[in-house]
Amino acid sequence: MPKHSQHRRRGKQALDADDIEWLESTPENLDGPPEGDRWSTWDQSTPTEKGPRPHPDWLVTELAAVDTEHGILKTGKEADVHLISRGVPGTDRTCLLAAKRYRSAEHRLFHRDSGYLEGRRTRDDRMNRAMASRTAFGKQAIAAQWAVAEFGALCRLWELGVPVPYPVQIVGTEILQEFVGTPDGYAAPRLAQVSEGLDDLWEQLVAAMVTLAREGLAHGDLSPYNLLVHEGRLVIIDLPQIVDVIAHPTGPSFLERDARNVATWFTAKDVAAADADALIALLRKEAGLAPL
């Protein structure tokens, strides 16, 4: 194991003579990693804050790894998504990750949260009041709640076999997940940008939505802009607002809106099988809801 990896593992324990000699000879290690922008945050997450096991082989989990920033993939009103590489210096062990970072309270605009939060009240009345009035504390609580909700949804859906990016870990309000795109960092296109293979993509989407409905869930904000297409495979992204259609006061309306949004788009692209009313009826049945 590299010496600097041993030092990180030891944490606050007393340093031995070899540690002191190594630190004195390489003082830059006190300030940061030998290359990259930060040490890997893998060891900052607890087991429940990491993705489902077994972790995929491509994922770099070594303590000696460092994270390097490569720019912004997507900007949004609540969060930005950055591309980072995580690798062990001096080796070929590296992987690309998408880091979704919810913004600080003073720069955040939770334009959609009021309806979704109806089903997410906490036992802490003070926190509920703060979130409702959008104080600085309340916004920070909302950010944490959205990040935790999204990471939990990704883990749950991954284990169900729903096509979502592998959830790597959560650290505070940063979610690290599998980068969906090419090895050289080009992100997969959104469904809205795709014009080929739409019949097959419709079938994939219906299958994914049926799996969600059987679990009593709806994406909550599904559209051609939060569906990626990578090598002919549909991938669902942006899940902080996932809705329990049974527990949420207006849960069925979110399910129906998701179905109508995507079916309308596919219908406009001349996909014969796309029918909003038929999809809504199917999803309501799978979710155990009464027919309209």
- Active-site amino acid positions: 221, 238
Cα distances from 112 to residues 77, 84, 152, 240, 241, in angstroms, run: 10, 28, 19, 11, 9
Helix residue ranges, H only, 46-168: 113-117, 125-133, 136-160
Sole residue written with tokens 């606050």: 12
Nearest to 241 by CA among 140, 80, 79, 115: 115
DSSP letters spanning 3-47: HHHHHHHHTTSPP-HHHHHHHHH-GGGGTS-SSSSEE--GGGS-G
For residues 6 and 2, give the distance between their C-alpha atoms in angstroms, rounded to a whole number. 7
- 140 and 108 in contact (C-beta within 8 Å)? no
CA-based angle 45:171:242, to the nearest 5? 110
Give SS3 for 79: strand
Q: Are strands 217-218 and 243-244 parallel, antiparallel or unpaired?
A: antiparallel
What's the rounded Cα separation, in Å, for the pair 76 and 87?
27
Query: Which helix H or strand E contains 68, and what residues bound it?
Result: strand 66-75
- The CA distances from residue 54 to 40, 91, 151, 160, 194, in Å, are 19, 23, 17, 14, 33
